[in-house]
């Protein structure tokens, strides 16, 4: 068992921390691929491989400081790589199909709300820090559709609530300020070392990595603990 971590406040990432966005993205990409396969005659498995290659080029391989999770850019890159001759309207239609799926398919474990309520009962302040979904308002729509988001004392959508994205410590410090808790008395829980753990540490916070949905990526700092299920927090944070 990990050593106990003392904190007056907990800040949670959203995607692949509280909700299973990884599976939603896979389903959304399947919808996009099926639509392109139907119009192009290309085989779906091949298209999926090429779509993931395009994602790597325009998202995964871009340094965090300038990375944007823009799926329209991924589809545009696929169009360019395969010479699909999709026009702007067709690319936008496919991107809208992707984001509609993401908005409607939000799944999360049964214990998510229980864990948040338990920490509230312990007198902990709760913050939510998440990056914009690129399309203004989409992340707020996703958050507003979930009952458990009402349990948070402060919510920051980095890139919308404030201009800065989650590629520096600034959004982390902003949530701490809104919670009126010193960063040193705060613990961040997220799924990415380079975004969540590193920047929380730079803000003088403690940080816990959750590896339930995605394998850990690399970063500069080590997390104070690694968990697989959210409920493990109840035995770690005091």
Domain membership of residue 213 as a residue range: 9-20+108-236
Q: Are residues 129 and 54 in the same domain?
A: no
Q: Is 236 helix (H, G, I), strand (E, B) or coil?
A: helix
Query: Given this model, what pLDDT does residue 154 score?
Result: 98
Q: Are residues 152 and 223 in the same domain?
A: yes
Cα 196 to Cα 214: distance, rounded to the nearest angstrom: 13
User: Which whole number is the average pLDDT over 116-123?
Assistant: 98
Q: Are residues 54 and 72 in the same domain?
A: yes
Query: Given this model, what pLDDT does residue 217 score?
Result: 83
Cα 175 to Cα 173: distance, rounded to the nearest angstrom: 5
Q: Is 209 helix (H, G, I), strand (E, B) or coil?
A: strand
How many Cβ atoms sit within 10 Å of the Cβ of residue 38? 10
Cα 146 to Cα 109: distance, rounded to the nearest angstrom: 13
Q: Are residues 143 and 87 in the same domain?
A: no
Q: Are residues 94 and 113 in the same domain?
A: no
* pLDDT-derived band at 81, boundaries 50, 70, 90: very high
Name the CA radius of gyration of the chain, rounded: 19
Query: Given this model, what pLDDT does residue 1 score?
Result: 52
Q: Are residues 121 and 85 in the same domain?
A: no
Q: Are residues 13 and 33 in the same domain?
A: no
User: Which whole number is the average pLDDT over 155-175?
Assistant: 96
User: Which whole number is the average pLDDT over 139-161?
Assistant: 97
Q: Are residues 28 and 87 in the same domain?
A: yes
Residue 212's CATH number: 3.40.50.1000
Cα 127 to Cα 115: distance, rounded to the nearest angstrom: 14
Q: Are residues 123 and 97 in the same domain?
A: no
- Tokens 């312990």, residue located: 122
Q: How many domains does the chain have?
A: 2
């Amino acid at each position: 068992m990990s050593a106990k971590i003392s904190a007056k406040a907990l800040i949670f990432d959203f995607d692949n921390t509280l909700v299973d966005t990884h599976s939603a993205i896979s389903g959304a990409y399947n919808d996009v691929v099926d639509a392109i396969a139907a119009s192009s005659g290309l085989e779906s498995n091949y298209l999926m491989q090429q779509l993931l290659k395009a994602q790597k080029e325009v998202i995964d391989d871009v340094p965090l400081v300038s990375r944007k999770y823009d799926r329209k850019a991924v589809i545009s890159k696929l169009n360019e790589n395969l010479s699909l001759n999709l026009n702007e309207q067709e690319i936008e239609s496919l991107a809208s199909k992707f984001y509609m799926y993401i908005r409607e398919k939000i799944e999360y474990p049964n214990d998510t709300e229980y864990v948040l309520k338990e920490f509230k009962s312990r007198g902990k302040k709760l913050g939510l820090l998440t990056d914009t979904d690129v399309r203004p308002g989409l992340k707020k729509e996703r958050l507003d559709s979930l009952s458990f988001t009402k349990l948070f004392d402060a919510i920051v959508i980095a890139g919308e609530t404030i201009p800065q994205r989650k590629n520096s410590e600034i959004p982390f410090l902003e949530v701490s300020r809104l919670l009126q808790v010193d960063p040193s008395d705060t613990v961040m829980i997220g799924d990415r070392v380079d975004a969540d753990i590193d920047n929380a540490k730079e803000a003088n916070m403690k940080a816990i990595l959750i590896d339930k949905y995605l394998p850990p990526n690399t970063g500069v700092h080590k997390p104070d603990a690694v968990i697989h299920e959210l409920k493990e927090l109840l035995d770690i944070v005091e």
